[in-house]
Amino acid sequence: MQEPLRQVKLVEGLDEKPKLSLDRIQTAVSDSFNPRDAALELARKLRPDEAACVVFFCSPRYDLKVLSAALQGHFVGTTLIGCTTAGEISQRGLTENSITAFSLPKSHFAVEAMLLNNLAFLSEDQVMRSVQDRVYALEKRAIAMAPGQSFAFTLLDGMSIREEIMLGLLADALGGMPLLGGSAGDGLDFGDTYVYHAGAFHGNAAVLLLVNTRCPFRVISGHHFGPSTEKMVVTKADPERRVVLEINAEPAAPEYCRIMGLSLDELNASTFALNPLGVRFGENLYVRSIQQVNDDLSLTFFCAIDTGIVLTKLRDVGMIEHFQAMMRDAHDAIGDTQVVIGADCIHRLIEAEENGTAKALSNTYRKHRVVGFNTYGEQCDGLHLNHSFTGIAIGEPQY
């Protein structure tokens, strides 16, 4: 599988100096491939001594041990979390081979962070007790006491195959607090993905950040597809591995190709991104993205899949237009935004690159102050999503 070329031209002449106000969200990006230089550049822009927390998203191409040590040295005493990515989004728009970050100021934010390690072995009781302890701790230090002023942000190992289970447990433990986030990436290698907490990168783990704020916010989540009339049935699957072995009682990959009008030698990340499938639950349509074709002609998916699921061929209704509509709704709800923290599916990036809209998408994200990363899956409340933009728009402080 060939990785698509990244040819997004960054907007030049953008002023990256941090804002002078002490009560605003700061953003930063470094494309230095020296991890020590990159960590220093972030620290100079994010002013960690004034931050309730700093969140970063980094290319997996960095030497993570060196980067971890450098970050730990520059952000002493600051809550710092992050993850590896399949691409970064910064105040420049779409970037790659970089590290991007934002800081939430102490003046308007209170946070609690925790690591959930060894995801395969965590029990429901362990998750429930640990999360509820953190919720209680956040309530004690909250700076905004009105209902609806807190949210949760999650980063999960994108190769753990534990997102659905963990998100269900977290949603139950949070008791209705809005929950959003993304699954860590590894470029297009689909090898090892990591989250960062307390001075180290961790695999098979998740980070949960609880945030209380005086700033208004709006969770946004959606995809830009509608259903077609063409459907197929998963007739044999291994749900534990998210692998489909048969579609319509035929080997999965050849049958997918037949329905999509493709040949087997065309199957790669790009064709999967351009030819998504969906599944309907009630009134809602969810994308089920294919990660890769396997030697036995089975298909591995990014998200939950099982025998008996009816998959629908999807039609594109416009990625940029759909995102702009979500942002208009957010603006109507909270006014001007300081930042949009975004978890953006890797298949959306590939799709934009393939259809020639990557530069326009990059400029759109820049215009709307998006900071985030390209994911192996997106998280909204108890749901694990594919091919979506999921995030949170944070407005101006309410004094």
Question: For residue 155, what pLDDT band results from cuts at 50, 70 and 90?
Answer: very high
**Radius of gyration of the chain from its Cα atoms, rounded to whole angstroms:** 20
pLDDT of residue 16: 46
Amino acid at 319: M
Q: Quick one: tokens of 222?
A: 């959606």
Number of neighbouring beta carbons within 10 Å of residue 345: 29
Taking CA atoms, 218 is separated from 16, 333, 336, 337, in Å, by 25, 7, 11, 10
Query: Over 50: is that where the pLDDT of 21 sits?
Result: no
Mean pLDDT for 238-267 is 96
pTM of the predicted model as reported, rounded to 2 decimal places: 0.91
- In the prediction, which pLDDT does 171 show? 95
Mean pLDDT of the region 323-338: 97
- Strands 195-197 and 200-202, by their bridges, are antiparallel
pLDDT, tens digit, for every residue of 61-84? 999 999 999 999 999 999 999 999
